[in-house]
Structure 1
Amino acid sequence: MIFKRLLDKQQSSPPMEAPPTNVEPIANTAQLFIQAIQAATHYPDDLIVKSLSPTLTLLYINHLVDNQTLNDHIIAPLQVNTTTTPEAVIDTLSVADIQHGSILAEAIDALVHGAALIHVAGYSKVIFASIITRETRALSTPENESQVIGTQVGFNESLATNISLIRRYIISPDLCHKKITIGRRTHTAVSLIYIHGIASEQMVNTVQQRLTDLRIDALIDSAVLAEMIDDNSLSVFPQMLLTERPDRFCDGLLDGKVGIVVDGSSMAVICPQSFSEFFQSQEDQNLRWPIATFVRLLRLAAFFLSVYLTPFYVAALTFHYEVIPQAFIVPLSESRALVPFPPIFEALLLEIIIELLREAGARLPTKIGQTIGIVGGIVIGTAAVQAGITSNILLIIIALSALASFTSPSYMMGNVVRLIRFPIILLAGYWGFYGIMLAFCFLLIHLLRQSSLGAPYLSPFYPPRFKDMRDSIIRMPIPLTAKRPTFTRPTDEYKFNPDEPIKPKKS
């Protein structure tokens, strides 16, 4: 409630005013133009100014332009063919992206985006030749969404490379790409991608409006963008999927979803997203349907096991001894005979230790992190049991819960499991099974109230859509999945004609 009031108060306050637009014209002399550019960029040391001829002046930011293209396609032609008009300069240059403008703000914007500015003396006009270069890493295997069967390539931090990967999977003129600039300071390029004829126009307009209405200084990563444009930013549950796999991204587009790619981020956003889809992996589409169904059920069972197993232990040992099997009471009592702490303190202590080991292993270098996780877990666990701080049974339960939390294919949903476990343990320690049921009802009500771009978060179970359930928890055979999920409200409801066979006839 406190965060909700703060958010409502912030939204009710007047929005941040946009900076005044600079409509100052381009000076017709080279000296005044250079002074205006230097003053606007605060006299940076990497601003290079070259005089190519008495009438031509070249300006660019070092390390932001491609030096080879600059020398071969701009400097060399202009030094050989001395021109005196902007039109002649444009005809001389062999650069693909070349424009001209007469406003100083346009020239500054092009300069910081990797363009070389060419000023012709006597004209209030400047030429922008975009020759930007960026250091990007090569395509590699996705680290957070690895799979055995399927493609082994992931997004990187280059927007152009990511768009080319998407167009490699979906070779269609219906693949729409809209570019939006976000960030008053960073001017981050954001691409809105969808398939015309499949994605709902209302959904596309909603996402586009949320992106264009953002009034922020900077945008660095796609995870920040997803939190800012989702339906409920105060919820711990993610409503949009972050993925580094182009095949999963394209599969979402083909289902009628909308994708967002942010320049400088290796994670793309897919929306809308239901709760059950966070437990689905792209590899499920490549496995045989019985195996994929078993794996999905295993992930969902691991979610409940990770959340409720430790609270069940705390509640049973604190209030409800009658639920413990009689054959299990004696070894359980012997295991806890030397433990001086109540079950709730014992469980919270081990949970915190597990989280410390997990966080330390994730932040340390790869080789050291694996060693710390394995050795630290064994040493601390063994020492804790021998010192009488915890019991063997609880140590097994905590380790099993931590292992089950890693089964979620989505890293964001795995973090949710790590967080909600602690308040449920507290409720189980104070009110037993009643506290567990109270936490379950609270989570269920919260999930029922959530939405993703206006679509029900618990779809297809609430509201019940039985036809969509065939590809939610259960992965049905591909010939039975002709219809796209109604969750995305697609314009084209069918992937293929269900009345025609999609497999070739046997000879």
Structure 2
Amino acid sequence: MNKRSRSKNTNPLFPSKVDELRKTLEGKFENNPDLSFSVYEQQGEKIAIFYISYLVEEKKVEQSILQPLLNKKEAWTNDSLLNDIPLSNGTKHTSLDDILGKLIIGEVFIYIEGEKEIVSYLLLNKEKRSLEKAETESIVLGPQIAFTESLVTNLNIVRWRVRSTDLVLEEIQIGKSIPRTVRLVYMKSIANEEDVQTMRQRLKELDIDELEDSVVLKEYIEDSNSSLFPQLQSTELPDKFTYAITKGKVGVLVENSPTAIFGPSSLFSFLESTEDLYMRWKTGTMLRFLRFLAIFISMLLTPTYVAAMTYQYTIIPMQLLVSIGQTRAAVPFPPVIEAILLEFLIEVLREAGARLPTKVAQTMGVVGGIVIGQAVVEAGLTSNILIIIAAASAIASYTSPSYLMGTTVRLLRLPLIILAALFGLFGVMFGLCFLIIHLLRMTSLGRPYLVPLYPLQLQDFNKVFFRSPLQYNYKHAKSYRPKKKFRFNKKDALIKRDIDE
């Protein structure tokens, strides 16, 4: 058994009397009733056992500590505790600061009066929910289970899916006031060492009091905090996480968080879904094209309408222009006010639907959209055609597998609408050019954000813009410079043998 010893010189406490130790601890915890402090006499010596009751598995304390302790006829020492107690995580301590820090994370302490050190064992009572279906990421095909708030459970899922000694689960502690365990996850023979070092350095140099969640961690370690675009992907789907890890990316799991993060990521990787792999390659390619098209429609359809109706109405076919003119005849506002009003109403409905209980949200979304849309048109506040355009733009933004990327697209629509109202299609083009320049300057863990489009990597197009048959996908993505170039042998994958061969 691996027994560890830890020694600190700050606030030395031992040796001391058991009663003095009790008074010291009760003073620190202000007579907290959850502090369990018991004293036993064994072979003429006093032995104190103390812990925070709701943090510890008390049945295991009784079976693994109390029974061996009270049944032994010889005198106990710290060394005999470490050797004879049937637990493998025994640790020695010498300072009050160390004891207080370990008490609040579920350790049980055993003190033999007169000893210069105290022994502790971690017997944390872990409250966790069972594995359930993912709520924020919906898929039709593929595994349905999601990560939970238990880091141990999440590590078990990852290890179960990636049964390889090549998988590294490196432990890092983050947080001064409330330390939290973080695991750096990567494939040792595939992941680029520079990416691993970059992620490790950013995690270890993070100087904060506490870490709320892995999604919050993203903001701390991303390359640019001022950009609207996310630079690291987050997911609650274990299959999506392990797929990224086995392709050479670096992942992070955080204690008490049901969301995993990984990178480096490109703009296009936020529009990919593992569901593409579970379909025929032609269907997966079509769906990927559909998502790209939907994002462009979501971002540009409403600004183009505003620009056309304000300045460039000659680009609209005459029959459609007459129809639009008739629907707008009773509208007192210019197109930009119409568009902003509808965008505001749609976002309010979406936010309200996200906060309400599921059954109520579905009813509210359908009824609210129909009733409000009908009332707005009848009141003459907007036209039918703009309601269709705004609804199509909103629906198109929901095709993104990443919730954060879909939100980014909806936010970008507002400045493009304003530019379209000020300068027409030239304003829309100016906004797009500014956006492209911004994306060209962005990085994710130091890697270009528009890879493989910039810098150009034609051999990676089949992993981003379309999905090739799996037997031809025998190379790792060159864009992220993995250690291994090939995933498998191409010739062997293309051989098809009959049963009699």
Q: TM-score range by the shorter chain?
A: over 0.9
Q: Are 1:62 and 2:49 counterparts?
A: no
2:66 is matched with which residue? 75
| Corresponding residue SS for 2:492 | coil
Q: Output the CA distance in 2 between the equivalents of 1:471 and 1:294.
A: 14
Deviations 1:161-192 (A, max 9, x none): 10110111111111111111101111011000
2:101 is matched with which residue? 109
Q: Are 1:492 and 2:492 counterparts?
A: no
1:51 is matched with which residue? 39
Write the letter of the residue equivalent to 1:72. Answer: Q
TM-score of the aligned structures, taking structure 1 as reference length: 0.93
Q: Are 1:90 and 2:77 counterparts?
A: no
Q: Output the CA distance in 2 between the equivalents of 1:450 and 1:225.
A: 19
Q: Are 1:131 and 2:118 counterparts?
A: no
Q: Are the aligned partners of 1:22 and 1:104 in contact in 2 as well (CA < 8 Å)? A: no
Number of aligned pairs? 487
1:177 is matched with which residue? 169
Deviations 1:8-44 (A, max 9, x none): xxxxxxxxxxxxx872223212233334434444553
2:25 to 33, 37, 40: 37
| Corresponding residue SS for 1:500 | helix
Shift of 1:202: 1.6
Q: Output the CA distance in 1 between the equivalents of 2:31 and 2:481.
A: 53
| Corresponding residue SS for 2:223 | coil
Write the letter of the residue equivalent to 2:172. Answer: I
Give ranges in structure 2 of 5+ residues lacking alignment.
1-7
Q: Output the CA distance in 2 between the equivalents of 1:28 and 1:248.
A: 53
Shift of 1:502: 5.2
1:167 is matched with which residue? 159
Pairing of 1:324-403 with structure 2 (within 5 A): 324-403=316-395
1:6 is matched with which residue? none
Q: Are the aligned partners of 2:9 and 2:94 in contact in 1 as well (CA < 8 Å)? A: no
Q: Output the CA distance in 2 between the equivalents of 1:227 and 1:327.
A: 50
1:4 is matched with which residue? none
2:277 is matched with which residue? 285
Q: Output the CA distance in 1 between the equivalents of 2:189 and 2:419.
A: 49
Shift of 1:365: 0.9
Write the letter of the residue equivalent to 2:107. Answer: A
Q: Output the CA distance in 1 between the equivalents of 2:360 and 2:91.
A: 52
Shift of 1:108: 2.3
Q: Are the aligned partners of 2:161 and 2:242 in contact in 1 as well (CA < 8 Å)? A: yes
Pairing of 1:104-503 with structure 2 (within 5 A): 104-501=96-493
Q: Are the aligned partners of 1:81 and 1:92 in contact in 2 as well (CA < 8 Å)? A: no
Deviations 1:312-354 (A, max 9, x none): 1111111111011011111111110111011000000000000
Q: Output the CA distance in 2 between the equivalents of 1:476 and 1:185.
A: 50
Write the letter of the residue equivalent to 1:65. Answer: V
User: Could you tell me the percent identity over the aligned residues?
Assistant: 41
Q: Output the CA distance in 1 between the equivalents of 2:425 and 2:115.
A: 81
Q: Output the CA distance in 1 between the equivalents of 2:164 and 2:475.
A: 20
| Corresponding residue SS for 1:164 | helix
Write the letter of the residue equivalent to 2:470. Answer: I
| Distance verdict in 2 for CA 1:262–1:502, change over 3 Å | farther
Q: Output the CA distance in 1 between the equivalents of 2:393 and 2:76.
A: 74
The alignment's C-alpha RMSD in Å is 1.5
Write the letter of the residue equivalent to 1:44. Answer: N
Give ranges in structure 1 of 5+ residues lacking alignment.
1-20
Q: Output the CA distance in 2 between the equivalents of 1:497 and 1:426.
A: 53
Shift of 1:100: 1.8
Q: Are 1:25 and 2:12 counterparts?
A: yes
Q: Output the CA distance in 1 between the equivalents of 2:298 and 2:498.
A: 47
Shift of 1:104: 2.8
Q: Are the aligned partners of 2:106 and 2:125 in contact in 1 as well (CA < 8 Å)? A: yes
Write the letter of the residue equivalent to 1:190. Answer: V
Q: Output the CA distance in 2 between the equivalents of 1:445 and 1:180.
A: 36
Write the letter of the residue equivalent to 2:420. Answer: A
Shift of 1:233: 1.2
| Distance verdict in 2 for CA 1:452–1:42, change over 3 Å | farther
Q: Output the CA distance in 2 between the equivalents of 1:22 and 1:421.
A: 59
| Corresponding residue SS for 1:301 | helix
2:5 is matched with which residue? none
Deviations 1:135-186 (A, max 9, x none): 1110011112221211111110100110110111111111111111101111
